Amino acid sequence: MNSEVERRRTFAIISHPDAGKTTVTEKLLLLGNAIKLAGTVKAKKSGRKAKSDWMKMEQERGISVTTSVMQFLYQGYTVNLLDTPGHEDFSEDTYRTLTAVDSAVMIIDAARGVEQRTRKLMDICRMRDTPIMTFINKLDRESLEPLELIEQIEEELNIECVPMTWPVGSGRSWQGTYHLAEDRFSLYERGHASELHEYQSIHGLESTESKEWLDGSHEDYIEEIELVREAGHDYCPGKFAAGHQTPVFFGSALQNFGVDQLLSEFVREAPPPQPRETRERFVAPKEDGFSGFVFKIQANMDPKHRDRIAFMRICSGAYSRGMRMRHVRLNRDIRVSDAVTFMAGERTMAETAYPGDIIGLHNHGTIRIGDSFSDGEKVAFLGVPNFAPELFKRVRIQDPLKSKKLNLGIKQLSEEGATQAFFPINSNQVIVGAIGTLQFDLVAFRLAQEYGADCIYEPSNIYTVRWVKSDHPADFLEFRRKAADQLALDGDDQLTFLATSRANLQLAEEKWPTIQFKDSREHNTH
């Protein structure tokens, strides 16, 4: 058990769309021997057979609604890569997946630098001080100056960078990278994009071979490296573990250069499964008793059976097929004989699984986001919150007689994490909030399919929501009375403030200093 925990690395990739997440993922799977040829992941994305109407919708849009988990072995480590939906399928699941990992890899496009989505995902990682390694991608294209990229990351993301490799040129003049700790150049050669290969290397920054190879630019390059060493930070494992420092690698995923250097360092330095906080106590991964929590629910695998898969991260103990576990919220024991694991995106029946692994539990809607499972102990995991949606729409039902169905459907879908629902206390409107636009379409689709409630969306003037609480009952009462027009209950009957603009929120916060306005809501606290 100890060694199984020690050799596990569970992580996700954070990046702005098009920075290269899919391409890096593919090269990681190639390195982990989970696929044989590059190109497989992309081909799969579009070539999958439709299994349900929902999947048809996925295909029509050419995107993947499903988040998968990929497990592979590398240098003796078992690596679990949790996919974070990034394009139109960007959603709250993307954020919540980051609550289930022990570390993350950040990909930056060398020509574009730090982009908006990366900033947001970094904020989510900060909530748990997740350790982050960085890969600066697309060096085969004209890039920003490496020093400028480092400065941008440090300033905009407020994290110290420790360059592990440093590029020699970029774009057409890209020659390779220099590994600072190993004092070795790796030479870039085109033509190895889809296969594993060894780089040619030259040892010693100041060696005669290097001088010959770099020709007239040798002196300048030595100076540049001196500057990087002087101005840069020394690697400090403690700072990395606390999310204050990020080791940085340069390369090109498409050209299959540098991802292996990143992965070798990553498996060595990234943390194994860590203790996790529950409402009751911290649970250590090496404890014998089984425990885990659900961070994502994927529905409609088979619409006829309303089958759902709940993705559970195991936090302690081991899963074995057929075992009994306690569904803590319902205080009920279940026997699990058909949990699935995910090898390179393919589902297989899980025989055993360990802390850090993700298993998928079949269910028919009994499991909610944030639910905890244990060997019988009453433990409720914290840190799998709802995040304030960023987009809002008013829902109108076509047939008013079906409004009860609509409300039920919207509540159940919000328990699953597909979207969030808000019911203003002073009106009978229903508001749906989401992080990505596709969530609205999915919810409308499922409301019609599963609840027979056809609905249309109308624009809403809501800018954001905040969950409100206070330790001052009298103030809270007054606030509830005076701000009633802007208050709503969420799908779990928690009180929220619907702000119409940033200024509106700020004003409310200033006016009501004893009320807490929170941008996420923890499950399992009430």
As measured in angstroms, the least distance from the Cβ of 142 to ligand G4P is 10
Name the token pair of 143. 């890039």
β-pair partners for 250: 136
Q: What is the DSSP letter of 446?
A: H
| 3-state class (DSSP) for residue 421 | strand
Binding segment (CB under 6 A) for ligand G4P, from list 134-142, 455-463, 479-487, 493-501:
134-142
17 binding ligand G4P? (CB under 6 A): yes
Binding mask 93-132 for ligand G4P (x = CB under 6 A): ----------------------------------------
Would you say 27 and 253 are in contact if contact means Cβ atoms under 8 Å apart?
Answer: yes
- Residue closer to ligand G4P by CB (options 16, 296) is 16
Answer for the pair 486, 498: CB distance below 8 angstroms, yes or no. yes
Q: Which of 32, 86, 389, 417 binds ligand G4P (CB under 6 A)?
A: 86
39 binds ligand G4P (CB under 6 A): no
171 contributes a contact to ligand G4P by CB under 6 A: no
Given the structure tokens 């009978």, which residue do they identify?
428
For ligand G4P, the closer CB: 134 or 464: 134
- Burial readout 49-86 (b: 16 or more C-beta within 10 A, e: otherwise): eeebebbebbbeeebbbbbbbbbbebeebbbbbbbbbb
Tell the smallest beta-carbon distance from residue 18 to ligand G4P (Å). 4
Nearer to ligand G4P, 99 or 170 (CB): 170
Compute CA 123 distance to the chain's CA centroid, rounded to the nearest angstrom. Answer: 12
User: Which parts of 233-262 interact with ligand G4P (CB under 6 A)?
Assistant: 252-255
**Near ligand G4P in 18-37, by CB under 6 A:** 18-23
Cα separation, 202 vs 140, in Å, equals 20
Site stretch for ligand G4P (CB under 6 A), options 137-145, 181-189, 221-229, 403-411: 137-145
Under rule CB under 6 A, residue 460 binds ligand G4P: no
- H helix or E strand, kind and range, residue 257: none
User: Residue 72 CB, nearest distance to ligand G4P (Å)?
Assistant: 18
Judged by CB under 6 A, the residue of 66, 137, 210, 341 near ligand G4P is 137
**Which residue in 4, 140, 260, 371 binds ligand G4P (CB under 6 A)?**
140
Exposure string for 442-470, b = 16+ CB within 10 A, e = fewer: bbbebbebbbebebeeeebebebbbbbeb
Q: Tell me, what DSSP letter sits at residue 46?
A: H
- Applying CB under 6 A, which residues contact ligand G4P? 15, 17-23, 42, 86, 137-138, 140-141, 252-255
